[in-house]
Structures are given as structure tokens and as C-alpha cells.
């Protein structure tokens, strides 16, 4: 929906609460977030940008430099190398986290949407602003 436009009028604290409510299920079942405090999760949530992808749309290309990681809110993606499918991922899964942890991360596989997907993106630049 148009949740981003609606909540941009709310105060920062209220935005965080709304975002928590919307994404708690995604975050609580996501290993990446389990050791973070609620304030840390709030900061991270405010850094997320939502993107929608169509079936067969490429999300990540093997060989490119990665500067963000992705959290699947809804949909199914396929991770592949050459043309061999390595695995499928769905709601609650994440990929690309190495890009946030290393200086120069080259993508080791490609990822494409299999269904219509809503995927949250967390960029290294946004994290650096918050840390």
C-alpha cells in the first residue's frame, strides 16, 4: 500500500511504533535482528526502504559491488549462479548481509524475484549515518 506516504506525516516516535507494528513479525523471526535491543531495532527500521519487484526481475547481480542487504517481507526469490538455482528464499529471509560487513563486497550470486515481492533494503550508508 501507500504506508510510506501516510506515515511520513506522523511524528518520528509514532512512525517508529507504526513501523514496529507493521514489521514485528518480519523482525522477530529474522535471525539478523535477534540479538539487537528494541532501540537498535527501531534505528534499523527507520533505515529500511521498501521496494517492490515483479516476477523475473533481477534484484542483485553476481559480480557487482554490494552496498546493501535485503529482507523479504513478502514473496519468493531465487538465488542462482551461472544458471544454476542454489536456493529459494521467502518471507522473513534475508540476503546480501556480507555487503554491510565488509569494505568491498562483490556479490557472489544473483537473486531474482519469482513472484511479486515486497523487499526491504538496508544500505550501508544509512547504517553509518545512524551509528
Give tens-digit pLDDT for 87-98: 999 988 889 888
The answer for residues whose C-beta is within 8 angstroms of residue 121's C-beta and 6 or more apart is 48, 49, 50, 51, 68, 69, 70, 71
The residue with greater pLDDT, 100 or 13, is: 100
Query: Are the C-beta atoms of residues 66 and 96 closer than 8 Å to each other?
Result: yes
Instruction: Choose between 30 and 69: higher pLDDT.
Output: 69
Question: Which residues have a Cβ under 8 Å from the Cβ of 11 and sit 6 or more positions away?
Answer: none
Q: What per-residue confidence (pLDDT) applies to 78?
A: 97
Residue tagged 523487499 (cell numbers): 119
Q: Is 38 a residue whose pLDDT tops 90?
A: no
Own/partner pairs, 23-27, CB within 8 angstroms, 24+ separation: 23/48, 23/73, 23/120, 25/92, 26/71, 26/73, 26/91, 26/92, 26/120
Question: Could you give the residue ranges of the DSSP H alpha helices within the chain?
Answer: 3-7, 12-28, 38-47, 98-101, 124-130
CA distance 73 to 119: 5
Question: Does residue 121 sit in helix, strand or coil?
Answer: strand
Amino acid at each position: 500500500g501507500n504506508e510510506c506516504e501516510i506515515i511520513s506525516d506522523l511524528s518520528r516516535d509514532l512512525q517508529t511504533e507504526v513501523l514496529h507494528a507493521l514489521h514485528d513479525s518480519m523482525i522477530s523471526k529474522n535471525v539478523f535482528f535477534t540479538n539487537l535491543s528494541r532501540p537498535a531495532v527501531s534505528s534499523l527500521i527507520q533505515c529500511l526502504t521498501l521496494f517492490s519487484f515483479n516476477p523475473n526481475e533481477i534484484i542483485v547481480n553476481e559480480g557487482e559491488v554490494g552496498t546493501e542487504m535485503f529482507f523479504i517481507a513478502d514473496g519468493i526469490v531465487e538465488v542462482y549462479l551461472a544458471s544454476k538455482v542454489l536456493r529459494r528464499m521467502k518471507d522473513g529471509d534475508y540476503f546480501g548481509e556480507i555487503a554491510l560487513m565488509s569494505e568491498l563486497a562483490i556479490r557472489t550470486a544473483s537473486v531474482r524475484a519469482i513472484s511479486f515481492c515486497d523487499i526491504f533494503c538496508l544500505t550501508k550508508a544509512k547504517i553509518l549515518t545512524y551509528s
